[in-house]
Structure 1
Amino acid sequence: MKAVIVLFCSLFFMLSKGQVQEDVTVKRTLKLMGTRFEITVIAPNEDIGYINIDEAVSEIERIEKIISSWDEASETSQINQNAGIKPVKVSIELFRLIERAKKISEITDGAFDISYASMDNIWKFDGSMQGIPSKALLSQSVSKIGHEKIQLDPIEQTVYLLEPGMRIGFGAIGKGYAADRAKELLVSKQVKGGVINASGDLTTWGTKVTGEKWLIGIANPLSKDKVFSWLPVVESSVATSGNYEKYIVLDGEKYSHIIDPRTGYPTRGINSVSVFTKNAELCDALATAVFIMGKDSGIHLINQMDGVEVVVVDSDNKIHKSSGIVFDKNQ
């Protein structure tokens, strides 16, 4: 009788063990906000994982409808259409985003500025430009840029662009914000871990199925297909701005697609900037700002900010970093 009981117990243990499901990694790549998004989640099974990803996609699409400057029905387009005419009442979500963007403009001395969109049609990086725009044209465009010309009324919850022809755009902060909000939604749904990668602007939470940390690779400046160093990203975010692929060459000079809103000219002297901090929105904005400010000023700014780090690759392919970055080539 004892032998039968032992056999039954062993069989029950094996069946129970077989019913324990291990988490799986589910990944999906798609185009959102005009760019490539890769969403990875850790889920009990593939079906739940894809449901989670669909929820994240819906959240990103919702945000795009608010901040898109191409959708004429968006709140952002309404603000632009009424530049120099009247204030526009907006959702508290967009109001707060613009409020935060203005604060980043202040701490970066205007290197980051969402009103840069006034210059959207001056420089083209599709191969159609034959020469540098005239100084008069650049001067006219820059005159419409300035975060101080974005007037916010917290009581009425309105946004007013003071000059006709002004435009705001979220190309340097929108993907990071969308990644943050999608992550926040998935965390609220008890998704254990994941990565949301918005074309280089990514945010993470939890760990891999194995319990290992999520890692991001810093590209070797001499060969972007090779990794110079791996850095762990734990409950954190990273954003990279670079000119490896999007640039133009005029009269033998290379010009980045990242424009300095204070001068109207493309930035020079840096190949890429990667910023690390808790949320992707701030990473996104600061990566652009450091790219524009330049290596020395940019790293000096980051060294003064708690919980923020940066890696800069200059135009000579030399790597520079803020004080808190430690490379481990053997990771």
Structure 2
Amino acid sequence: MPAEVREARFSVMGSAGHLIVVAGPPDLPERAQVLLAELEAFWSRFRPDSELSMLNASPGSWVKLSVPTVALVGRAVQAWGETGGLYDPTVLSALEAAGYDRSFETLDPETGTQPAAAAAPGCAGIEIDRDRVRLPAGVRLDLGGIGKGYAADLVAAELLQWGAEGACVNLGGDVRVTGRAPAPGGWTVAVDDHLRPDEDLSWVALADGAVASSTRLRRRWQRGGRELHHLIDPRTGHPSASPVAAVTVVAAQAHWAEILAKAALIAGLRAGSELLCSHGVAGVLVMGDGSVHRAGPWERYESWTPSSGGTSPAPPG
């Protein structure tokens, strides 16, 4: 007998959220949204009372934080080390200097003069002790991208703990799928073609895992006559000048897929492809000219492309 499937769509973490829950108690989508709202309240840099804002406002002091926030900071610091600093959560000051100093929907598209550049300070001085974190002077964190991925991972796991047989959690394109899919053959996740809005680049099939994308073609604005975007190169403090326009990664966890997609884009085509292969994940890198380059075992997951014929499906999450 087919299992009951429930869906919910909502706004969360500055992005569109989409849940698919297979079987389990009928209130699971609502419970998941409550948890997501709680995590957003912990991690939003736009809320002065969030745990992240309190941490950023207390350089040199130990700050007691919730278990999810300490875990997220720990993963961000680990990712900084494992990507050679290409992923760096300490770019917040550079991001604000570039003009992204408020939620994107309220951002003035013409935000003034061109910002000064400064390399990100990096994570070497961040200290974590059980339920406390201490940031050194001059270090402030942005956990926006990794936060969405980690929230998707947490919520997907919780849904199974609460009795769901399967779950898909999509937070602004960071997708985590686990357990029983609504249809035979596993979960199918559409990969956006960021150069052609409303079209799919391909779709991938997963039994359990995650897909995340990073692109410099969205969240853009003007400053000093120059078009800027939100992907800061930590080595320069400026928005990345990489010729790679978008990267999509398939990995076991959404936050790790998000980290590696961002790091690979900033690294560029050759170094980015090598980074993905070195971490054993699959990825696709799309250049500004539209050329597509696959890295790692991407073909293992890809089940449709425009050249293969047929019509791409609606994304499940």
Q: TM-score range by the shorter chain?
A: 0.7 to 0.9
Contact 2:45 2:53 in 1 (8 A): yes
Q: What letter corresponds to residue 164 of structure 2 in structure 1?
A: V
Structure 1 runs (4+) deviating above 4 angstroms are: 249-254
Counterparts of 2:244 and 2:145, CA distance in 1: 17
1:99 aligns with 2:74: yes
1:211 is matched with which residue: 170, 184, 187? 184
Q: CA RMSD in A?
A: 2.3
Q: Secondary structure at the match of 2:137?
A: coil
| Change over 3 Å in CA distance of 1:221–1:280 after alignment to 2 | closer
Structure 1 regions of 5+ residues with no counterpart? 1-20
Contact 1:221 1:317 in 2 (8 A): no
1:305 is matched with which residue: 262, 267, 279? 279
Q: What letter corresponds to residue 283 of structure 1 in structure 2?
A: A
If asked which structure has higher relative contact order (CA below 8 Å, sep 6+), I would say 2
| Aligned position for 2:146 | 173
Q: How many residues align?
A: 296
TM-score, with structure 1 as normaliser? 0.81
Q: What pairs up with 1:148-227 in 2 under 5 angstroms?
A: 148-154=124-130, 157-164=131-138, 166-220=139-193, 223-227=196-200
Counterparts of 1:28 and 1:92, CA distance in 2: 27
Counterparts of 2:76 and 2:286, CA distance in 1: 25
2:114 is matched with which residue: 111, 127, 132? 132
Contact 1:237 1:280 in 2 (8 A): yes
| Aligned position for 1:77 | 53
Which is helix-richer, 1 or 2? 1
Deviations 1:271-307 (A, max 9, x none): 111111111111122221112112211110110113x
Contact 1:312 1:321 in 2 (8 A): yes
Structure 2 regions of 5+ residues with no counterpart? 101-107, 311-317
Which 10-residue stretch deviates more, 293-302 or 145-154?
145-154
| Aligned position for 1:285 | 259
Could you tell me the percent identity over the aligned residues?
26
Deviations 1:2-46 (A, max 9, x none): xxxxxxxxxxxxxxxxxxx642322111011222101111227xx
Counterparts of 1:173 and 1:222, CA distance in 2: 23
| Aligned position for 1:24 | 4
Q: What letter corresponds to residue 129 of structure 2 in structure 1?
A: D
Cα displacement (A) at 1:260? 0.9
TM-score, with structure 2 as normaliser? 0.85
Cα displacement (A) at 1:129? 3.3
1:275 aligns with 2:249: yes
Q: Secondary structure at the match of 2:97?
A: coil
Cα displacement (A) at 1:253? 6.3
| Aligned position for 2:17 | 37
Counterparts of 1:38 and 1:146, CA distance in 2: 33
Counterparts of 1:221 and 1:180, CA distance in 2: 24
Q: What letter corresponds to residue 56 of structure 1 in structure 2?
A: A
Cα displacement (A) at 1:318? 0.8
Which 10-residue stretch deviates more, 252-261 or 95-104?
252-261
Q: What letter corresponds to residue 41 of structure 1 in structure 2?
A: V
| Aligned position for 2:313 | none
1:235 is matched with which residue: 208, 226, 235? 208
